[in-house]
Chain A
């Protein structure tokens, strides 16, 4: 067998997956932190590092600029800025990670919203010298609005405050106060003192902060729970497509929450037709029960008219139907969203026509990166849950019917 230091070689067993996002302002050292995490977990391979060293030398830099690992586009490298969300992949023997690396420059809010929409954890970075600033409050607010289940406050640049426990505690308490004042509750957070530059408490435990007894950043990422409570919620199966085989019809989709079993009494929305589950298949195999986030196909008793966009839910715990949607939104597009706009609303697998009825407090409309409230009226009834209960059945996009552009991200209240 080959002997190596690569962490994956210690065990090649299947592990769990954690999706997380980073948020930081321009000079918080986010690129350095991400670079340090990738580098110290031995996730940067030789040819990538050589490419970065080569590019850094060409720019007249003495040391490899780890930010170049994450800046993938010509314009980003030329301008030295990060334009867009990039996804990074790394693994340890305990877990596989998908990191949504969101830029701290312009177009900031919509990028963090994008990264946070699928994240199970958000790392909010602060500079220990500056503590909690306006941008930190914004990061916390976005993480809370998007209901990211776990938040880490990474207090960075501890090397520049003499590794001071007092400073760290002060910042943690400030952040706790700021979290308590948010419109939406933050589920709790874990504060970790780090130095991305020197690597203290990122992957390796710091010898210079022996007063800190909590986990390193990587320890925490490896052990944080990944289920977000959706297993315990009522079942929801948005139908993606219908699979016909002989005379049989299978309603295929990804179960966004709960469990679905043979024999369950279900209702199909929006029609309201009721039926019973006669079979559950998980990717071609018959199973007794399917669980949240399984891609499944189900068969139902009776000759039913069901298609893409329908939602299958337990009779006893079905969502209410509505044509009036009250939501929190983040506007993503350069075009302003105004009252009276006719849009398409994409919710789970269903797309319906909608009209913007009200933008409270925004008489001039919503512009790029703005967060706000909206009231929409839809042409057909929608079976939506509150976003607080389900990120999958409580979220939607607004789309421009003229050119298909994605305009706005919405979260049902």
Chain B
């Protein structure tokens, strides 16, 4: 027995180091891809009415790509759901509709604007609609009786997300209770739920922002153009470059200017900031992200800066 034990004063034992000698070398993207596909198939095998949240942003685009691979040569056995804040980038909505048509998918749209028009939701004084998404999302889930809802959330995005399971049980009000999560072991995902409850599923939990970009590059996945550097009329609010537009910006005191920018995330126009960039290709974007000293959300999301627990609080209420 003691022969197999080594202490640090010895050279590193040969049996535990060095390159793999058996099987093919598996890259980190292969590992992450295989894991995500396994999760998609587990949901297809266990649930009645799954849906993929699809916004036309890069994470949901990667999810759709993974789902296409998971069920090839058959089509994806799920519908899509987009929660439209009414303040979306037109290029992204265009991309969304083209993608849905290209793959013959069915898209449900839950519209924040409809709720505002009906008087059920009220516009916030700061004009931010991100927190307003929760009600249309949870009502769409109940209305369509979705039992599994795929989201593109990644644990590296935010510290509350880092605590969430791959299969995250939500009650009939879509609420997340971090203290009552099920332990998740091996690759055994527990999808049991009572009627009215559902499970949020995060197949790319273990991916980082850079993994997503490297995968997009490896798989030659097309993205909406706003992810690449372009000239855009923007104005400064709270240290972020917001796009001028019908959603309500800028105020009279906020002068606009044209800058060369791109987006790291895609969300509601009222709270998603652009970053100065001259990266017009995937290679340039990846180089830029690898060099960045800011996280994706720190750089571009106003709503996460509201408080130390902004994301946790929204998730508890049913946000994805």
Q: Which of B4-22 contact A (CB under 8 A)?
A: 4-13, 15-22
Interface pairs (19), CB distance under 8 Å? A6-B292, A14-B28, A17-B27, A72-B312, A77-B309, A84-B163, A84-B181, A89-B208, A117-B185, A190-B12, A191-B7, A213-B9, A223-B17, A229-B22, A252-B41, A295-B34, A349-B45, A392-B186, A397-B185
Interface bits A178-211 vs B (CB < 8 Å: 1, else 0): 0110000101111111000000000000000001
A241 touching B206, Cβ below 8 Å: no
Closest residue of A by beta carbon distance from B159:
A72
Q: A87-B206, A113-B185, A227-B22 are in contact. Are A189 and B160 (CB under 8 A)?
A: no
- A404: CB under 8 A from chain B? yes
The answer, among B13, B155, B179, for a CB contact under 8 Å with A89, is B155
Q: Is the CB of B8 within 8 A of A72?
A: no
A-B contact count (CB 8 A): 269
Q: Provided the pairs A17-B32, A48-B298, A176-B7 are in contact, do residues A252 and B70 lie with their beta carbons within 8 angstroms?
A: yes
Name the one of A16, A73, A113, A250 contacting B178, with C-beta atoms under 8 angstroms. Answer: A73
| Contact residues in A for B159 (Cβ distance below 8 Å) | 69-72, 86
Q: Which residues A13-68 have CB closer than 8 A to chain B?
A: 14-17, 45-48, 51, 55
Chain B contacts for A160, CB-based, 8 A: none
Q: Which of B204-225 contact A (CB under 8 A)?
A: 205-206, 208, 210-211, 214, 218
Write out the residue numbers on chain B whose beta carbons fall within 8 Å of the beta carbon of A244: 74
Q: How far is the CA of A403 from the CA of B32 in the complex (A)?
A: 31
Give min CB distance, B97 to chain A, whole Å.
Answer: 24
Q: How far is the CA of A241 from the CA of B37 in the complex (A)?
A: 12
Say whether B188 contacts A9, CB under 8 Å: no
Cβ–Cβ contact B185 & A283, under 8 A: no
Query: Which of B16, B72, B208, B218 is close to A91, meaning CB atoms less than 8 Å apart?
Result: B208
Stretch at the interface among B51-59, B117-125, B132-140, B189-197: B189-197
Given the complex, which residues of A lie within 8 Å of B293, measured CB to CB? 6, 45-46
* Residues of chain A with a CB closer than 8 A to B37's CB: 254, 283, 295
Query: Which 5 pairs across A and B sit closest by C-beta, in order of nearness?
Result: A404-B192, A47-B298, A231-B23, A284-B72, A72-B159
Task: Give the contact stretch, choosing among A165-173, A311-319, A355-363, A371-379.
Answer: A165-173
The complex places the Cα of A48 from the Cα of B156 at a distance, in Å, of 11
A104 to chain B, nearest CB (A): 16
A110 to B27, CA, bound (A): 30
Task: Please report whether the interface of chain A is mostly helix, strand, loop or mixed according to DSSP.
Answer: mixed
B8 touching A192 by the CB < 8 A rule? yes
Instruction: Looking at the assembled complex, report how far the CB atom of B290 sits from the nearest CB atom of chain A, in whole angstroms.
Output: 4
Provide the bound-state CA to CA distance between A344 and B286, in Å.
46
Interchain CB contact under 8 A, B20 and A396: no
Footprint of A on B, CB under 8 Å?
Answer: 1-2, 4-13, 15-34, 37-38, 41-42, 44-46, 68-74, 155-156, 158-163, 169, 178-179, 181-188, 190, 192-194, 205-206, 208, 210-211, 214, 218, 286-288, 290-295, 298-299, 308-309, 312-313
Q: Are B1 and A397 in contact (CB under 8 A)?
A: no
- Shortest Cβ distance from residue A92 to the other chain B in the assembled complex, whole angstroms: 12
Contacts of B182 in A (CB 8 A): 405-406
**How close is A140's CB to chain B, nearest CB, in angstroms?**
11
- Is A274 part of the contact surface with B, judged by Cβ < 8 Å? no
B8, B73, B294 pick with most chain A CB within 10 angstroms: B8
Inter-chain CA distance A114–B295, complex, in Å, is 28
Are B41 and A14 in contact, with the CB atoms below 8 A?
Answer: no
List chain B residues, Cβ under 8 A from A12: 214, 286-287, 290
A72 touches B162 (CB 8 A): yes
Query: Is A243 in contact with chain B by the CB < 8 A criterion?
Result: yes
Q: Point out the residue from A15, A86, A192, A254 that lies within 8 Å of B162, measured CB to CB.
A: A86
Min CB distance A298 to B, Å, is 13
Find the A residue at minimum CB distance from B190.
A406
Chain A residue nearest in CB terms to B27: A14
A346: which B residues are within 8 A, CB to CB? 188, 190
Q: Which residue of A lies closest to B279 (CB)?
A: A2
**Contact partners of B181 in chain A: CB under 8 A:** 84
Whether the Cβ atoms of B8 and A214 lie closer than 8 Å is yes
Query: A220, B298: Cβ atoms under 8 Å?
Result: no
B27, A188: Cβ atoms closer than 8 Å: no
Kindly list chain B residues whose C-beta atoms are within 8 Å of the C-beta of A293.
26, 31, 34
Q: For A236, list chain B residues within 8 Å (CB).
A: none
Does A88 reach chain B (CB closer than 8 Å)? Answer: yes
**Are B9 and A212 in contact, CB atoms less than 8 angstroms apart?**
yes
- State in angstroms the CA–CA spacing of A117 and B42 once bound together: 19
Nearest CB in chain B: distance from A240 CB, A: 4
